[in-house]
Amino acid sequence: MQSISEALGLAFALVVSGDADLFEIVILSLQVSLTATAIACLIGLPVGALIAIGRFRGRSAVLILMNALMGLPPVVVGLLVYLYLSRSGPLGFLGLLYTPTAMIIAQTILIAPIVAALSRQVIEDLHTEYADQFRSLCLTRLQTVRALLWDARYSLLTVGLAGFGRAVAEVGAVIIVGGNIDHLTRVMTTAIALETSKGDLALALALGIILLVIALGVNAAVQSVRMAAARNAYV
């Protein structure tokens, strides 16, 4: 077991030197999480918008379910995806288990409800403000959704960034469906867990430093988008 000071020194050396194994893990993490976030936004934003402007029987139950799905346990999602993609599962013939695609599917299922619920709240508040104007223009539901999505683009970008932050920090689901296979499905969170258990604190800390930088970068981006939206609101 390395001392903390020694491990930190080695960790910074790995980051500065551009260690190939380290950045292979980082790049795969970003590819998986960005892809999952993009797919989740393609699903979640329209769903959130339609529920925001819709008035139908059972809407309250849908909202309760949507908010409940925001807290999906990652290991449960991982287990369900594993069962579907395993050789004996209904989608086993696709051969996706223990691949980056399986990890993308798991992350998408986790963050799509978050994107849908947050975007629903943003768009519903905006729709309340413009409802009379939309009715006077006789806009269709599709036209209304498109107008609201465009007008709320800055706020929805923060929703997407929040989803990405949730995805990139995920460990439970991706380790179940990805298997943490070296040079194939090893991402930052699973590698940190593995290297810590092995006592290789240098690599674990190096990945932890990069993950913290990414988290800070996402938070800074969210704040910048909010400030830009506030400035544009007064233009």
In order, the DSSP letters of 12-66 are HHHHHHT-HHHHHHHHHHHHHHHHHHHHHHHHHHHHHHHHHH---TTHHHHHHHH
Q: What is the pLDDT of residue 203?
A: 78
pLDDT at residue 16 tops 80: no
Q: Please give the radius of gyration of the chain, using alpha carbons only, rounded to the nearest integer.
A: 21
Nearest to 32 by CA among 195, 207, 176, 174: 174
Residue 82's Cα: distance from chain center in Å? 19
Instruction: Give me the amino acid identity at 206.
Output: A
pLDDT at residue 143 tops 90: no
Q: What is the pLDDT of residue 3?
A: 61
Residue whose token pair is 């999480």: 33
For residue 115, what pLDDT band results from cuts at 50, 70 and 90? very high
For residue 4, what pLDDT band results from cuts at 50, 70 and 90? low
For residue 199, what pLDDT band results from cuts at 50, 70 and 90? confident
Of 36-40, 178-182, 198-202, the one with minimum mean pLDDT is 198-202
The mean pLDDT of 115-130, rounded to a whole number, is: 86
CA distance 138 to 150: 18
Q: What pLDDT digit, counting tens, does each position of 43-99 carry?
A: 999 999 888 888 888 888 888 898 888 888 999 999 999 999 998 889 989 989 999
Mean pLDDT of the chain: 84
CA distance 86 to 96: 8
pLDDT at residue 222 tops 90: no
The mean pLDDT of 173-186, rounded to a whole number, is: 90
pLDDT at residue 14 tops 80: no
The mean pLDDT of 210-226, rounded to a whole number, is: 80
Of 47-56, 118-127, 200-209, the one with minimum mean pLDDT is 200-209
The mean pLDDT of 20-46, rounded to a whole number, is: 91
Q: Which residues of 123-145 are buried (b: 16+ CB within 10 A; e: fewer)?
A: bbebbeeeeeebeeeeeeeeebb
pLDDT at residue 31 tops 60: yes
Q: 46 near 208, Cβ under 8 Å? A: no
SS3 187: coil
Nearest to 158 by CA among 216, 98, 224: 224
